[in-house]
Amino acid sequence: MGMVEAVILTIITASTPLLLAALGELVTERSGVINLGVEGMMIMGAVSGFAVSYLTGQPLLGLAAAVLAGMAMAALFGFMTLVLVANQVATGLALTLFGLGLSGLVGDPFAGMPGVRIQPLHIPVLADIPYLGLLFRLDPMSYLAVALTIAISWFLFKSRAGLVLRAVGDNHQSAHALGYNVIRIRFMAVLFGGAMAGLGGAYLSMAYTTQWLENMTGGRGWIALALVVFATWLPFRLLLGALLFGAVGILQLHAQAFGLGIPSQFLNSLPYLTTILVLVLISRNRLTMRANTPASLGQSFVPDR
């Protein structure tokens, strides 16, 4: 049972940064903007959170710094694509490259330093329940990720503001004609996506591990992007998808530890092979894709003068 609990806990911790980053990208894409810079925002959140928590000894300040770093990167993306009407795909790719390079420069003095860990909770009585008790011994950010999944689902489908956001993503010209400020709504969605990506990055350097390593996101930003498509832009499917991808990543590590004779290079590629396979299978169901895909996704908006 101890082994089973350990595997389940590691799957949850591995899926949490994916879920946080993907939730932010889901809201961004629901507004009609596709930001391929998730990896760059995550890595900047990771280095900023680690550096500030290391220098101050306060994990909350580290999380705040990670959020601000992610939002700063997102603001740069938003200015380029929404104000200057640059190509969203090219700008997102450039943002990822910029974030990876800048994080290496900023994080170089902190390489190998011991970090400040976000301590897991231990809820009395509930944490001692057999089997189910492990769900009450998680770190606060894992609970936050689930709470945000519920909150974002309610926001998108039960609130007026969420309806406006989805309207902008489905038909920005009609939303503009109705008097909604498309640029402002999209900019706020982009900033939220950056904040969530920064939180996901901070989780890697402050909870998943307690150290800073260059390129420590390891492609998780790209997996988060794929998760949004896998979930067909629905938050609760995103939660299930994050657990699935987290399980694939963790189980390949256990497979290596058991010495199954499978080449380690193949096992390391499993999360990405799974990403490709899932995207191919999802794309075959065109009815589902059409029903949930924001119709204006990736399309630039220039208001009438």
Residue 101: predicted pLDDT: 95
Residue 202: predicted pLDDT: 96
Each of the 305 residues of the chain gets a pLDDT tens digit; together they read: 577 777 888 889 999 999 999 999 999 999 999 999 999 999 999 999 999 999 999 999 999 999 999 999 999 999 999 999 999 999 999 999 999 999 999 999 998 888 888 888 888 877 878 777 888 889 999 999 999 999 999 999 999 999 999 999 999 999 999 999 999 999 999 999 999 999 999 999 999 988 899 999 989 999 999 899 888 899 999 999 899 888 887 777 766 666 666 676 776 777 778 778 877 777 777 776 677 889 999 999 988 75
Q: What are phi and psi of 190, to 5 degrees?
A: -65, -40
Smallest CA-to-CA distance from 180 within 158, 194, 164 is with 164
Q: Where are the domains of the chain?
A: 2-292
H/E run at residue 155: helix 140-158
CA atoms within 13 A on the CB side of 122: 2
Residue 134: predicted pLDDT: 82
Residue 257: predicted pLDDT: 65
Does the domain at 2-292 match CATH 1.10.150? Answer given as no
State pTM to two decimals: 0.93
CA distance 100 to 40: 6
Residue 266: predicted pLDDT: 72
Residue 269: predicted pLDDT: 76
Q: Are 144 and 202 in contact (CB under 8 A)?
A: no
Q: Are 247 and 199 in contact (CB under 8 A)?
A: no
Q: What is the largest CA-CA distance in the chain?
A: 66
CA distance 148 to 264: 35
Positive or negative CA dihedral for 38, 40, 41, 44?
Answer: positive
Residue 264: predicted pLDDT: 65
CA distance 254 to 45: 28
Residue 289: predicted pLDDT: 67
Hey, what amino acid is at 242? A
CA distance 73 to 69: 6
